[in-house]
Amino acid sequence: MSILINKNTRLLVQGITGNEGLFHTTQMKAYGTNVVAGVTPGKGGEWVLEGKVPVFDSVKFAVEATGANTSIIFVPARFASDAIFEAADAGLELIVCITEGIPVQDMMRVRNYLDQKNVRLVGPNCPGLLTPGESKVGIIPGDIAIPGNVGVVSRSGTLTYGVLYALKLVGMGVSTCVGIGGDPINGTNFIDVLGMFEEDPQTEMVVLIGEIGGSDEERAAEFIADHLTKPVAAFIAGQTAPPGKRMGHAGAIVEGGSGLAADKIRALEAVAVHVAQHPEQIPELLMKRV
């Protein structure tokens, strides 16, 4: 078992002929992900990756021809919201948007539209998903994690990689890693993923990687107290960040005394979540909870 992606995922890549799209499609396919199609308007009929992946002019045509059920978006920010709309209208169940820099107003329209449909968006401005040994949909390096029973959900990209590798070094594997991104408005939040991990029989422990800004971690703490039966370890990035300065993600900013790392840590520790002082400490904290 896993959540969101597995060996049966049939992936479509929007923006496949761009530099980033083509590079990461090569990496995903090399990992074993079933990449069935790409989409670049005006380049329908072409093939990429030595004739292994067909390119279509629209997501609708690609889905009809290949049975794709998941899309990943490597499209410039000014076109990314339209790419999400197109994927949703084509009936895809899961959309992963890697693109950063999408205007907040665009994402407000996207979120309002997707809330009316049975579509799951992960991102934007995220590293995507990894189910070790089965599928990689995004830019998370495939060789830094092994299959196992730890579910990982994170707002941070780089810290995610460090935690996955730290788990691997001590022989701890991952069921699925979900990078939700750190923008103010995104498609999937901590609570969504925590609920999926709670229902996933393979996931026995959970790692939550948060950061300053907003109140997502505090809401996650409330959900953990009320609904989660599995042990959780966490790390909060930006503990030394000065107020009023954006650190990394667009959502990582402390304003008006809210979004402080100390408040997030306090909320998590109040519901018996062990919070690491540094990411490499997470495996040790998990082993104490077993």
Record the pTM.
0.94
Residue 256 confidence (pLDDT) above 60: no
pLDDT tens, 77-126? 999 999 999 999 999 999 999 999 999 999 999 999 999 998 999 999 99
Same-domain status, 210 and 280: yes
Same-domain status, 208 and 282: yes
Domain tally for the chain? 2
Residue 4 lies in a domain: no
Same-domain status, 172 and 251: yes
Contacts of 12 (CB under 8 A, 6+ apart): 35, 36, 37, 38, 39, 59, 62, 63, 66, 68, 70, 71, 72, 87, 92
Q: How confident is the model at residue 278 (pLDDT cuts 50, 70, 90)?
A: very high
Could you give the maximum distance between any two Cα atoms of the chain, in Å?
Answer: 57
Same-domain status, 145 and 43: no
- Domain extent at residue 61: 10-122
Look at residues 93, 122, 151 and tell me which one is the last residue of a structural domain. Answer: 122
Residue 288 confidence (pLDDT) above 70: yes
Same-domain status, 145 and 249: yes
Tally of CB atoms within 10 A around 209: 27
Residue 134 lies in a domain: no
Same-domain status, 113 and 156: no
Average pLDDT over residues 25-44: 98
Q: What is the CATH number of the domain that holds 36?
A: 3.40.50.720
CA 245 to chain centre: 24
Q: Is 274 a catalytic residue?
A: no
Catalytic residue, from 24, 227, 249, 278: name it: 249
Residue 83 lies in a domain: yes
